[in-house]
Amino acid sequence: MNILMVAAECVPFVKTGGLADVVGTLPKYLKQRGHDVRIIIPKYRQIDGAKFGLEALPCKLSVFVGKEQENFRIKTCMLDGNIPVYFIENLRYFNRPGVYGDSSGIGYGDNRERFIFFCKAAVEAVKALMFRPDIIHCHDWHTGLIPAYLKTVNLCDGFFWNTSSVYTIHNIAFQGSFEAASTLPMAGFSWEDYKSDKLEFYNTFNFMKAGLAYTDIISTVSPTYANEIQGPAGKGMEVVLQTRKKDVFGILNGIDYSYWNPRYDRNLAANFYAKDKSGKKFCKKYLQEKCGFKVDDKAFLLSVVSRFDMQKGFDLIIDSVGNLVKENIQIVVLGSGDRYIKDTMLYLKSLYSDKLAVFTDYNEPLSHRIYAGADAFLMPSKFEPCGLSQIIALAYGTVPIVNKTGGLSDTIEDFSTNTLKGNGFVFDFYKGESFEYTVRRAYDIFKNSFLWNRLTDNAFASRFSWDNSVQEYEKMYDTAAARKIKDNIYNKNI
């Protein structure tokens, strides 16, 4: 199949969270299975053109955002030597210090215009490139307009005659909802389109609703989240999802085990793997030194690597830090994003600096050292579509402590001292007490080296590889493609 991924982020070029990991990794597995996969993302200032060998294609293109004609260029390079990546370059929209907003965590005021432009430009770019996709796979709200264009503005465009769309929800909390009257003409839709109940959401114009309503197939990133968002966790979209129930797929993300591999990871003080964990002790010592903690193998070293967002359970972490550090427990936090969380974590650090370390940047090498050096990984998310961090932690033999929600339920099983099964600790009542109780339960098991050793073996043995999920994606693409052919026959007199 010809598969085009369109997204706002992609590793190794630009990343603020797991979306980038998925968009940069899934194509490699699709490629291995013989598909022609290509990727379109914006050319942000952060993407280092020289480092990645970006070349500009000789075409100059433009689209309208409202009445403004916006010119753009396409730059390109290869991912892994065989996956073409196309970067949409427009300096006005993407030559900025941040990806979505400034360093205080507030989004840019013109994100609506930026992603209308990006959606339109992606549709034009694929035509200019003469790459006829069987599937356009769109990710999150930033690309929600593309399935809508294919079924409205571009409906009679023969170029897309055999193109089906798949729309993946990575996080239903970010929907891209804007004032309708000005957005409609800016995006190029009519009031008739709006009244069709496919763009409107509580009197606003909603990018995600456009994606969900117009796409051929909908997916999200874990089976449990796929069910949850058809109920109260749907943030208002549950009704839309229920009406398309048969078209909703839940496919668990994987991680790239060649990249997240403590045996060969060059960021680490020492390497280790399941059969020889001795290097992990050096990594722990390194991390304790880096954090200014007492170097003590008996201290229970907890970690967080996360976007600063209340989704991730920071209210529980903030409330429990003071109690936890009374024990021989140390906590290292790496995160960036929300200003309130950042300031609060830094304040707590000023109170407990011998037990709590807080790093407030986006730091890929440090994240590896934390995954490797910590004993346990805290992810008490209020909701979690999939979560990659807990899967990465497992790969480094670091035990996740999680809330039972979304993809965390699908990946982490509570450790049982009877059966010795389970790869982490799970609580299922989103309250400070139950989180703290679960951390203490983990700490008790940590003190028993036989049990802890068994548990870390289970963590190392847990594999969430793309090899399984890629086959589910293929089945989903087949379903989408079949649907499109049927639609064409049905619409043949257009």
- Is the CB of residue 125 less than 8 Å from the CB of residue 63? no
Residue 27 binding partner per list ligand ADP, ligand GLC, none, with a CB distance cut-off of 5 to 8 Å that depends on partner kind: none
In sequence order, which residues have a C-beta less than 8 Å from that of residue 34 and are 6 or more positions away? Answer: none
Interaction between residue 365 and ligand ADP (CB under 6 A): no
Does 252 participate in binding ligand GLC (rule CB under 6 A)?
A: no
Q: Which one, 12 or 66, has the nearer CB to ligand ADP?
A: 12
Looking at the DSSP bridge assignments, the partners of residue 284 are none
Check residue 175 for interaction with ligand GLC (CB under 6 A): no
CB 394 within 8 Å of CB 422: no
CB under 5 to 8 A by kind: which of ligand ADP, ligand GLC, none does 397 bind? none
CB of 388 to ligand ADP, least distance (A): 4
The entry of ligand GLC, ligand ADP, none that residue 75 binds, CB within 5 to 8 Å by partner kind: none
The residue within the footprint of ligand GLC, chosen from 388, 394, 412, 480 (CB under 6 A), is 388
What span, in angstroms and rounded, lies between the C-alpha atoms of 363 and 435?
27
Beta bridge partners of 78: 84
CB contact burial 442-455 (16+ within 10 A = b; e otherwise): bbebbeeeeebebb
Residue number of the CB atom closest to ligand ADP? 18
Q: Quick one: which segment of 362-370, 436-444, 451-459, 476-484 binds ligand ADP (CB under 6 A)?
A: 362-370
Residues 191 to 250 in contact with ligand GLC, rule: CB under 6 A? 221
Is the CB of 334 or the CB of 394 nearer to ligand ADP?
A: 334
How would DSSP label each residue in 99-144? SSB-TTSPBPTTHHHHHHHHHHHHHHHHHHTT---SEEEEESGGGT
- Of 104, 105, 98, 128, the residue nearest 8 (C-alpha): 98
Integer Cα distance of 265 and 268 in angstroms: 6
Both tokens of 125, joined, read: 């770019």
336 sits near ligand ADP (criterion: CB under 6 A): yes
Nearest distance, CB of residue 449 and ligand GLC, angstroms: 32
Which strands form 204-206's sheet, in the order they lie side by side?
Answer: 177-179, 204-206, 200-201
Q: Is 388 in the site for ligand ADP (CB under 6 A)?
A: yes
Rg (CA), the chain: 23
The pattern of x and - marking residues 263 through 302 that bind ligand ADP according to CB under 6 A reads ----------------------------------------
CA–CA distance, 171 with 7 (Å, rounded to integer)? 13
The entry of ligand ADP, ligand GLC, none that residue 327 binds, CB within 5 to 8 Å by partner kind: none
CA distances from 277 to 11, 32, 40, 389, 456 (A): 29, 32, 40, 20, 9
Among residues 131, 194, 273, 362, the one that binds ligand ADP under rule CB under 6 A: 362
CB-based contacts of 293, cutoff 8 Å, min separation 6? 299, 301, 330, 354, 355, 357
Judged by CB under 6 A, which of 363, 432, 441, 457 binds ligand ADP? Answer: 363
Q: Which is nearer to ligand ADP, 143 or 306 (CB)?
A: 306
What is the torsion angle, in degrees rounded to the nearest 10, for the CA atoms of residue 190, residue 219, residue 128 and residue 178? Answer: 40
Could you say whether residue 17 binds ligand GLC (CB under 6 A)? yes
Q: Is 384 in the site for ligand GLC (CB under 6 A)?
A: yes
Is 170 among the residues that bind ligand GLC (CB under 6 A)? yes
Decide whether 188 or 373 has the Cβ nearer to ligand ADP: 373
Binding flag, residue 386, ligand GLC (CB under 6 A): yes
Residue 336: which of ligand ADP, ligand GLC, none does it interact with, CB under 5 to 8 A by kind?
ligand ADP
Contact region with ligand ADP (CB under 6 A), list: 38-46, 283-291, 304-312, 471-479: 304-312
Beta carbon nearer to ligand ADP, 334 or 445:
334
C-alpha torsion sign, points 433, 436, 441, 444: negative
Determine which residue in the list 4, 5, 19, 148 makes contact with ligand GLC, applying CB under 6 A.
Answer: 19
21 binds ligand ADP, rule: CB under 6 A? yes
**105 vs 188, which CB is nearer to ligand ADP?**
105
Does position 400 bind ligand GLC by CB under 6 A?
no
101 is a site residue for ligand ADP (CB under 6 A): no
Exactly one of 12, 17, 66, 279 binds ligand ADP (CB under 6 A); that residue is: 17
In terms of C-beta density within 10 A (0-12 exposed, 13-18 middle, 19 or more buried), how is residue 398 classed?
buried
Token readout for 210 is 């456009």
- Of residues 204 and 363, the one with the C-beta less far from ligand ADP: 363
Instruction: Give, for 218, the enclosing helix (H) or strand (E).
Output: strand 217-220
Please tell me the distance from the alpha carbon of residue 387 to that of residue 403, in angstroms, as a whole number: 12
Q: Which does 335 bind (CB under 5 to 8 A by kind): ligand ADP, ligand GLC, none?
A: ligand ADP
Q: Using CA atoms, how far apart are residues 330 and 288, in angstroms rounded to an integer? A: 9
- Asked if 313 is part of the footprint of ligand ADP (rule: CB under 6 A), the reply reads no
Q: Binding residues for ligand GLC, per CB under 6 A?
A: 17-19, 22, 170-171, 221, 253, 384-388, 407
Q: Which residues contribute to the site for ligand ADP (CB under 6 A)?
A: 17-19, 21, 305-307, 334-336, 362-364, 367, 386-389, 392
